[in-house]
Amino acid sequence: MFSLFDRYVARTVLAAMLIVEFTLLALDFSIGLLGALDDISANYGFVQLVIYQLMRLPWRIYEYAPLAVLLGGLLGLGSMAGANELTAMRAAGSSITRLSIAVLKPLVLVIVIMMAVGQWLVPHSEQAAESYRAERLQSSGETVGRGSWQIEGNTFYKFGAITSNNTLIGVSRYRYQDNRVVEASYAQRALWDEQSQHWRLEDINTTRFEENGTTSQHSDSAQWETRFDPRFLSLVIMDLNTQPLTSLWEFAHYQDSQGISSNDAWLFFWQKLLQPFTFIGLMLVAVSFVFGPLRTKTAGTRIFIGIVVGLCVKYLQDLLAPASVLLGFSPLWSVLLPIIVCYLVAFYLLRKNG
């Protein structure tokens, strides 16, 4: 299956992908660290900030994988072209098709690893990272800035984070009556009881707004009657782009049944499902560029062109997502059209160059 020729090409391209991935991770980690310095507090110091950033590395690896595939293909094949190795291979009878297949073979391994990371590792690591951050900020008396808003009846809720053992961190509740807030409460946490299938709020501070003033009350614990279960809250609290395929499918259908726009959920679902075809399309673009317009260009030029192409594909998908709502087409096409463009450009250049 893998000849000596295939192994050499695979080793060169995979090494270039790893170098690009680690470089992107280092840059993003440094920028993310500097951008989050404002979050530092008594129980959330620099060490805790570094730990939080490290816990988010699986998501960063997954997020930068398409760009690493494109740039890795350009740099790996570009280095072989610069050393006249591709010319020697073609002179020995290897066609561009044969070289393209050799480049795509190691991509199967990358696809399998990234699909597994996105489906199983990223959801758990992101949940652990956000709950870790929320707990540290809460213990410092800071407000948990992230989370999700939900409405149930005449009550609005804001949830800070949810842990893997079904513990909610930071539950704010605002009860309305006659278009005004009549009660606001904040619970430090909410624990899910599997036996009774109910939430129990802990360390609750409640403020009631009455006509002649306000009254405050503190409770150690109280049962919380709600239709929200841990499965649902995990879906709405965590970012959709960190959710596995199965959860995105369920959440999109739930939003459809409630008459809520499910455009974002379907967009991320199709992005994850069609990611293997995105990888293949980007690698074919890299192959076509190396054998075509970037054959004699420097590594810096290849990197620049690769970044531009990768960002164009990403931004085209992001721009087509809201367009699908306005024009009434499926989010599937928002993901599929840029992939089709990649294949058309790659096949055109490969055919043009033999």
Residues with Cβ < 8 Å from 92, sequence gap 6 or more?
none
User: Is pLDDT larger for residue 345 or for residue 308?
Assistant: 345
Q: Residue 146: its pLDDT value, please?
A: 64
Same domain, 207 and 115: no
Structure confidence at residue 36 as a pLDDT band (50, 70, 90): confident
Distance in Å from the first CA to the final CA of the chain? 25
Indicate whether 31 pLDDT > 70. Answer: yes
Same domain, 10 and 128: yes
Q: Residue 296: its pLDDT value, please?
A: 61
Same domain, 152 and 47: no
Quote the number of domains for the chain: 2
| Domain assignment of residue 263, yes or no | no
Same domain, 15 and 86: yes
| Domain assignment of residue 348, yes or no | yes
Structure confidence at residue 325 as a pLDDT band (50, 70, 90): low
User: Is pLDDT larger for residue 74 or for residue 58?
Assistant: 58
3-state SS of 242-279 is HCCHHHHHHHHHHHHHCCCCCHHHHHHHHHHHCHHHHH
Same domain, 105 and 19: yes
Q: Give the 3-state secondary structure of residue 297.
A: coil
Indicate whether 143 pLDDT > 70. Answer: no
What is the rounded CA–CA span in Å between residue 134 and residue 142? 9
Same domain, 153 and 127: no
| Domain assignment of residue 204, yes or no | yes
Same domain, 225 and 282: no
What is the rounded CA–CA span in Å between residue 153 and residue 155? 6
Structure confidence at residue 21 as a pLDDT band (50, 70, 90): very high
Q: In which order are the strands placed within the sheet that holds 213-224?
A: 148-152, 155-162, 167-177, 180-193, 198-210, 213-224
| Domain assignment of residue 315, yes or no | yes
| Domain assignment of residue 266, yes or no | no
Same domain, 189 and 161: yes
State pLDDT tens for residues 240-276: 889 999 999 998 988 888 787 788 889 899 999 999 9
Same domain, 326 and 179: no
What is the rounded CA–CA span in Å between residue 16 and residue 10? 10
| Domain assignment of residue 244, yes or no | no
Same domain, 69 and 100: yes
- Greatest mean pLDDT among 22-31, 177-186, 206-215: 22-31
DSSP 44: B
What's at 66, amino acid-wise?
P
Same domain, 290 and 178: no
| Domain assignment of residue 245, yes or no | no
Indicate whether 149 pLDDT > 70. Answer: yes
Q: Residue 125: its pLDDT value, please?
A: 94
Q: Residue 330: its pLDDT value, please?
A: 83
Same domain, 127 and 15: yes
Q: Residue 293: its pLDDT value, please?
A: 63
| Domain assignment of residue 285, yes or no | yes
Q: Residue 140: its pLDDT value, please?
A: 61
What is the rounded CA–CA span in Å between residue 214 and residue 221? 21
Last-in-domain residue among 221, 238, 255: 238
Indicate whether 238 pLDDT > 60. Answer: yes
Domain enclosing residue 42, as ranges: 4-137+274-352
Question: Cβ(157)–Cβ(150) under 8 Å?
Answer: yes
Q: What is the CA radius of gyration of the chain?
A: 25
User: Looking at residues 209-214, what average pLDDT do you find?
Assistant: 84
